[in-house]
Structure 1
Amino acid sequence: MPDVVLNADKIDLVRERRTLLDRVTLTVLRGEHWALIGPNGAGKSTLLGVLGAYTHPTRGTAEILGRRLGRVDVQELRRLIGQVNPRHPLESARTVREIVLTGVTGTIELVPRWTPAEGELRRADELIALMGLTHRTDARWPNLSQGERGRALIARALMPDPPLLLLDEPATGLDVAARERLLAALDQLRAERPDLTTVLVTHHLEELPVSTSHALLLREGRVLASGPSGEVLTTELVSACFDHPITISRNNGRWAATAGRVRPAVPHSPGPG
């Protein structure tokens, strides 16, 4: 199937006799935008590591962009995947433009004596603009807010024009305004790149962009529910996933989660007279 971007079939991942993933099955098609949701320790980032070709399953099969793990050069495969990790281990004071340009070489630091081509410079500036960072192009990493760093890393991941973008809790540590700017940038990116496929890990439903099309609920390494977001992100299923009563609501395409069940309003009975 040419439109299948990711296909995990009954994958297990066992480390030190502990099962981190248990018969996980997932199929992601081109242009879909998935959210992996679950409590801390559910296995979300572990699953993302498999989908990003950084971890091999113990059992089962995982195919990424038509290539099966175990039968492919993972270094070559990783160059086709945009990876966004908010814990980016950059240690030098590079500018936003320099950080984005490292997406060409796939390195954390700039490669010595490497000079980007004119087209690469133009693309870097276009992606910086898409992420709303033009005014911060020459700002250096230590002086960027957490939200600016996150958007710069998304632009970096997009430099090779990958068909697949993986985001591991990109809104971690952001205040409300920074989170909203990040989510707006993701929605705009998805609108401008209809063929782009994305998978985003979070345990906060408020961190999901409006454009989220599908969701997978993960609990203790097992898939609790998977499918279109409107069918999966329900009060009943999310409550079961987090083992706590949680009311799910949606307004203008955005999700919200409230602890406890909302009780139906009691009809008002008029008094005598």
Structure 2
Amino acid sequence: MTNVIDMQDVSWKRQQETILTNVNWNVSRGEHWAVLGLNGSGKTTLLNMVNGYIWPTTGKVSVLDQQFGRTDIRELRKSIGWVSSSIQERIKGTAYGEDVVVSGKYASIGLYDVPNNEDYKKAYQIMEQVGCSHLTNRTYQTCSQGEKQKILIARGLMGSPDLLILDEPTSGLDFISREELLSTIDNLAIQKDAPTIIFVTHHIEEILPVFSHTLLLHQGTVFDKGERSAMLTSTCLSEFFGTSVRVEWHRDRAWMTLRD
């Protein structure tokens, strides 16, 4: 497998309204990408298309070398891990952490099959890997927001995916919890057998060095894309956001402020 995501001249319309326009995006194996954009830029629509929940109005989409229209989307989704607030909202508060993780094997919300001992053994190993092994035998509703996000990342890894999508995973976290979660993501991304990671955010300081490339999405189209260092500059982002900003780098992370 060489192309994890390949979108060619993609557009998508909903009730005569164009949401995505002329999107060309290629993610190769071995790359981790950040997707940066404001609310309403089309990020959620883009992710829904990668997951096969919507199909392009025009253009071609291939995910994990499987071209839409020539593959079983339900089977393809088993190779994609997805962490988003929409999943968190559907999980029962009384579910135990390890059961939430195991449900990722079946790409379901809740357990409708009977897991075996090997399933739980794998779940415990993954929970240890992402730093939430202490949440076994804890109900989901008693976990902090940061702990819930770690459980969801572990759930996303349960099916040994080739592609892991993290849709604004730091949303709602305080500074310390955010940095702890980013450290978890960083440790995951550098593993030899790590899946390709797509990290969606509003905040440039969350784009860690491990994310080699960045896609800038603006009003449903690709404003620019390329290596992280080339995208996260004062000039590029001032044009992207439509306002004058200053980007400064600390410990190989970019931080942005408005210019006076």
Interval of TM-score (by shorter of Structure 1 and Structure 2): over 0.9
Match of 1:90 in 2: 91
Match of 2:170 in 1: 171
Question: Would you say the 8 A contact 1:39–1:241 is kept in 2?
Answer: no
Separation of aligned partners in 2, 1:195 and 1:157: 12
Question: Would you say the 8 A contact 1:164–1:197 is kept in 2?
Answer: yes
* RMSD, aligned α-carbons: 1.4
- Establish whether residue 141 from structure 1 lines up as the match of residue 171 from structure 2: no
**What's the offset of the Cα at 1:23?**
0.3
Residues 93-146 of structure 1: per-residue CA shift (max 9 Å, x gap): 1111111010112110111xx332232212111111112112222211111111
| Unmatched tracts of structure 1, length 5 or more | 262-273
Larger Rg: 1
**What's the offset of the Cα at 1:70?**
2.2
- Establish whether residue 154 from structure 1 lines up as the match of residue 153 from structure 2: yes
- Equivalenced residue count is 258
Q: Larger deviation: 118-127 or 73-82? A: 118-127
Question: Would you say the 8 A contact 1:38–1:241 is kept in 2?
Answer: no
Separation of aligned partners in 1, 2:241 and 2:15: 25
**What's the offset of the Cα at 1:92?**
4.1
**What's the offset of the Cα at 1:195?**
4.8
**What's the offset of the Cα at 1:170?**
0.6
Separation of aligned partners in 1, 2:206 and 2:120: 31
- The one-letter code sitting in structure 1 at the alignment partner of 2:38 is P
**What's the offset of the Cα at 1:188?**
0.6
Question: Would you say the 8 A contact 2:2–2:65 is kept in 1?
Answer: no
| Unmatched tracts of structure 2, length 5 or more | none
Separation of aligned partners in 2, 1:96 and 1:175: 22
- The one-letter code sitting in structure 2 at the alignment partner of 1:211 is V
Match of 2:245 in 1: 246
Q: Percent identity?
A: 35
TM-score by length of 2: 0.95
**What's the offset of the Cα at 1:18?**
1.3
Tell me the SS of whatever aligns to 2:122: helix
Separation of aligned partners in 2, 1:225 and 1:231: 10
Separation of aligned partners in 2, 1:195 and 1:30: 11
TM-score by length of 1: 0.91
Moved over 3 A (4+): none
Question: Would you say the 8 A contact 1:31–1:194 is kept in 2?
Answer: no
Tell me the SS of whatever aligns to 1:192: coil
Question: Would you say the 8 A contact 2:36–2:201 is kept in 1?
Answer: yes
Query: Compared with structure 1, are the counterparts of its residues 149 and 56 closer, same or farther at alpha carbon in structure 2 (3 Å cutoff)?
Result: same
Separation of aligned partners in 1, 2:120 and 2:207: 31
Tell me the SS of whatever aligns to 2:190: helix
